[in-house]
């Protein structure tokens, strides 16, 4: 079974993906980390974010098992990730790794922006998880504050909108809901309600 989950930043798709993987005993890949890992390696070496050949070289050395979410979760790395994510050649390299992960038994949950459209177009079930920009900005602000770091709602909101715009307007594999994806709008839901809704969608798809 392959569960494909797409959606914008801070929509809750990452938490849902992790919990669905636990529930259905599947492996989980947060594909955003692959773009973040490449971006973080470029930033650490002071290399340009727009050079496709260098980015591809970084991707070739990427080990999915060694990606450390806590080191890659910063706002700066997320922003840089969305800038390298426009490079078609880099995407080809990362999509190859993501497809390999998905094809390994017993199946997997992958979350990102192009899972239902490009990485796993034949997934058993596809979810497009979204929420209003304001709800997402509030969640992201609270999350940063809860770590004892500083965050200002207005700037988090404008950053999210800018990233959504870049991710949905790029020419290669833009973020978009696959035609056969189930839309899950979590604006008015807490995580438990969203999780139950997602489980229901997956159970129905599996039964069908």
Q: Which residues bind ligand C5P (CB under 6 A)?
A: 9, 31-32, 35-36, 78, 81-82, 85, 112-114, 163, 167
Q: How far is the CB of 201 from ligand C5P (least distance, A)?
A: 20
Nearest residue (CB) to ligand C5P, 171 versus 207: 171
Q: How far is the CB of 114 from ligand C5P (least distance, A)?
A: 5
Nearest residue (CB) to ligand C5P, 99 versus 206: 99
Q: What is the dihedral of CA 47, 157, 11, 92, to 10 degrees?
A: -30
Is 180 strand, coil or helix? coil
DSSP string covering 23-37? HHT-EEEETHHHHHH
Nearest residue (CB) to ligand C5P, 93 versus 114: 114
Q: How far is the CB of 103 from ligand C5P (least distance, A)?
A: 16
CA dist 90 to 95, 189, 206, Å? 9, 35, 33
Nearest residue (CB) to ligand C5P, 87 versus 203: 87
Distance CA 204, CA 208 (A): 6
């Amino acid at each position: 079974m392959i569960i494909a989950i797409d959606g914008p930043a801070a929509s809750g798709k990452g938490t849902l993906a992790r919990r669905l993987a636990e529930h259905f005993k599947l492996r989980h890949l947060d594909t955003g980390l692959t773009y973040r890992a490449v971006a973080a390696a470029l930033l650490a070496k002071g290399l340009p974010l727009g050079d496709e050949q260098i980015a591809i070289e970084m991707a070739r050395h990427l080990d999915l098992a060694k990606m450390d979410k806590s080191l890659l979760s910063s706002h700066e790395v997320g922003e840089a990730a969305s800038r390298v994510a426009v490079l078609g050649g880099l995407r080809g390299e990362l999509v190859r790794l993501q497809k390999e992960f998905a094809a390994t038994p017993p199946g997997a949950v992958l979350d990102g922006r192009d899972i239902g459209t490009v990485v796993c177009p034949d997934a058993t079930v596809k979810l497009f998880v979204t929420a209003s920009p304001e709800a997402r900005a509030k969640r992201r602000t609270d999350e940063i504050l809860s770590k004892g770091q500083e965050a200002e709602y207005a700037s988090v909101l404008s950053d999210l909108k800018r990233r959504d715009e870049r991710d949905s307007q790029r020419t290669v594999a833009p973020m978009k809901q696959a035609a056969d994806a189930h839309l899950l709008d979590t604006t008015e839901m807490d995580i438990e309600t969203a999780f139950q809704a997602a489980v229901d969608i997956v159970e129905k798809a599996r039964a069908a």
